[in-house]
Amino acid sequence: MNWYRITIHTVTEAVEALSYRLEEDLGAKGVEISDPKDILMQKKNPLDWDYVDEELLKDLDRSEVLVSAYFSEAMVDDPGKLEALTLRIREILAQIGNFLPVGSGRVETSLMAEEDWANNWKKYYKPFHIGSIFVIPSWLSAEEKDGDRVIHMDPGMAFGSGTHETTSMCVQMLEERLQGGETVFDVGCGSGILGIAAAKLGAGRVYCTDLDPAAVAVAADNAELNEVADRVSVHEGDLMQIPALSGVRPQAVVANIIADVIIGFCPEVYQVLAPGGIFISSGIIRERRADVEKALLEAGFDILQVKEKGSWAAILSEKKA
């Protein structure tokens, strides 16, 4: 199958809102975010920086983020539909621009084969550390150090390579808070990286959920690849509607999604969490941090910690015992 890739030149502040609108309003079957800062963040760890091919960075505009949305050829089967879709994206950019910077907003369209979509990003994905977690792409090898908790990862066409600030903050919070033996929910699991990290950090049982069947398949494969499938199960569907999770009271829930979704299901997370359990929420642009904090407090949570990296925030909250 061929796919139309529509790429928008924007800035970090607009990524969350734009990605959400592309998927929810326009029905994009995938959204790819190419942010040079995700690569440059690795420079903070010299051991990781050795794995980044500096030749790939020369032509990057470090102030610009590329958001690429993918639409099947069947969805855009004539030039008129493609033109209408492009115009709709420009309208959405203008709407977002009323309250957030959107950068140049330049829109480009290309047609590509599915195998190119699945593989052309791999040249940018290199081994890296997040605390004691060492993420190694499944098609590469890397020298491990004593104390490394290794995750072999192939995100495929699911969200979550682990390089983004939002993911790294979640992993850091998991490492700081998990004591061992906990039950953990990873909501909107994407590639499964956070659920697998929780297992590597000692969680006794991890339930990963996602609405996207492609993500569910990728996460299950990655759990098998990392030999944690006996503790990590992956389920398709909404958190509150999965029979296998009925009655399960986790000690920790992690959700790296977007602010609007987190705000919407704060009460549900509070309901399922065990007393004294923690909720790690991320994927929140700084401008929406206060909105998420308000929703958490209204649901009954105590906010324990907020981390910020770049334009993003992650919030650690606790259900009162």
Q: Which of 44-48, 144-148, 155-159, 213-217 has the lowest mean pLDDT?
A: 44-48
Q: Out of 3.40.50.2000, 3.40.47.40, 3.40.50.700, 3.30.70.120, select the CATH number for domain 2-41+63-120.
A: 3.30.70.120
How many Cα atoms within 13 Å fall on the side-chain side of residue 214? Answer: 10
Q: What is the rounded average pLDDT of the residues 3-20?
A: 89
Question: Count of alpha carbons within 13 Å of 230, Cβ hemisphere only?
Answer: 2
Tell me: pLDDT of 295 over 70: yes
Helix (H) / strand (E) element for 246: namely none
Higher pLDDT, residue 258 or 107: 107
The model's pTM is: 0.70
Q: Residue 124 has what pLDDT?
A: 59
Q: Which tokens is 183 given?
A: 């039950």
Looking at the chain, the domain(s) classified CATH 3.30.70.120 span 2-41+63-120
pLDDT in tens, 84-143: 899 999 999 999 998 889 999 999 998 877 666 556 656 656 777 888 989 888 777 788
The Cα 66–Cα 7 span in angstroms is 6
Share the mean pLDDT of the chain. 84
d(CA 3, CA 107): 16
List Cβ neighbours of 253 (8 Å cut-off, separation of 6 or more).
Answer: 184, 185, 187, 269, 272, 273, 277, 278, 279, 280
Each residue's pLDDT tens digit, 21-57:
998 889 888 788 877 665 544 444 443 333 444 454 4
Q: What's the CATH code, domain 164-319? A: 3.40.50.150
Spatial distance between the Cα atoms of 193 and 152, rounded to a whole number of angstroms: 9
Q: Where in the chain is the domain with CATH 3.40.50.150?
A: 164-319
Confidence check: pLDDT of 77 > 90: no
* Structure-token pair, residue 226: 């990392």
Q: What is the pLDDT of residue 303?
A: 97
